[in-house]
C-alpha cells in the first residue's frame, strides 16, 4: 500500500467516525426527557417510607419510531443515595409522539425527619425543609442512550 492510499483510508475512517458521532448526537438531542410533577404518597408511612411518584415525559423528535426500553438510575436525597429507579416497561414512540410515565422510588422517612431537625438546629428554622431529590441515570432507547441528571423538590 502506498502513502497516498494510506492517507485516503485514514481520511475515510475519520469522516465515517465524525459522521457517526454527529448522527448519534443528533438522535440523542431528539429524544427529550422532561421531568414533571412529583407527588408524595404517604400510604407506606407506617412502614417508615415516603413513596415518591414522579411523572416524566419522553418525546420522540426523530423521523423514525423509537422504543424506550428502560429508564434506570440512582436517586439521591441531598448527598445520600436512597435507592435505584428502574422502569422496565417499554414505551413505543412514533415520530413526534410524547408519552408520560411514572418513576416511583421510596425515601426513608427517618432521613427526612433527621434532615428537618438538622435544619432547625443549624438555622433555627426549617430552612430547606426537605432536600432536593436528584435523579442521575440513563434513558435507554432503541436509537440512543440518553443520560439524565435532574433534580426535583418534593415539597
Residue 2's pLDDT is what? Answer: 64
Q: Map out the domains of the chain as residue ranges.
A: 31-152
Residue 99's pLDDT is what? Answer: 94
Residue 40's pLDDT is what? Answer: 83
Check pLDDT > 80 for residue 101. Answer: yes
pTM above 0.85, yes or no: no
- 31-152, what's its fold? Immunoglobulin-like (2.60.40)
pLDDT digits (tens, 9 = 90+) for 5-57: 555 566 565 454 444 444 444 444 689 989 888 888 888 888 888 888 888 89
Residue 61's pLDDT is what? Answer: 94
How is residue 31 written as a grid cell? 429524544
Residue 29's pLDDT is what? Answer: 60
Q: Is the separation of the CB atoms in 62 and 27 below 8 Å?
A: yes
Q: Is the separation of the CB atoms in 63 and 95 below 8 Å?
A: yes
pLDDT digits (tens, 9 = 90+) for 110-134: 776 676 666 666 665 555 555 577 8
Q: Is the separation of the CB atoms in 111 and 129 below 8 Å?
A: no
Q: What is the mean pLDDT of the chain?
A: 76
C-alpha 146/C-alpha 12 separation (Å) is 28
Amino acid at each position: 500500500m502506498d502513502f497516498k492510499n494510506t492517507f485516503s483510508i485514514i481520511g475515510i475512517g475519520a469522516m465515517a467516525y465524525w459522521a457517526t458521532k454527529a448522527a448519534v448526537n443528533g438522535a440523542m438531542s431528539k429524544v427529550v426527557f422532561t421531568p414533571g410533577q412529583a407527588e408524595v404518597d404517604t400510604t407506606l408511612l407506617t412502614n417508615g417510607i415516603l413513596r415518591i411518584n414522579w411523572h416524566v415525559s419522553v418525546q420522540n423528535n426523530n423521523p423514525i419510531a423509537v422504543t424506550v426500553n428502560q429508564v434506570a438510575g440512582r436517586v439521591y436525597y441531598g448527598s445520600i443515595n436512597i435507592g435505584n429507579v428502574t422502569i422496565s416497561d417499554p414505551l413505543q414512540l412514533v415520530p413526534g409522539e410524547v408519552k408520560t410515565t411514572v418513576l416511583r422510588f421510596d425515601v426513608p422517612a427517618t432521613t427526612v425527619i433527621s434532615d428537618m431537625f438538622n435544619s432547625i438546629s443549624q438555622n433555627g428554622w426549617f430552612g430547606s425543609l426537605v432536600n432536593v431529590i436528584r435523579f442521575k441515570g440513563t434513558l435507554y432507547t432503541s436509537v440512543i442512550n440518553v443520560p439524565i441528571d435532574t433534580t426535583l423538590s418534593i415539597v
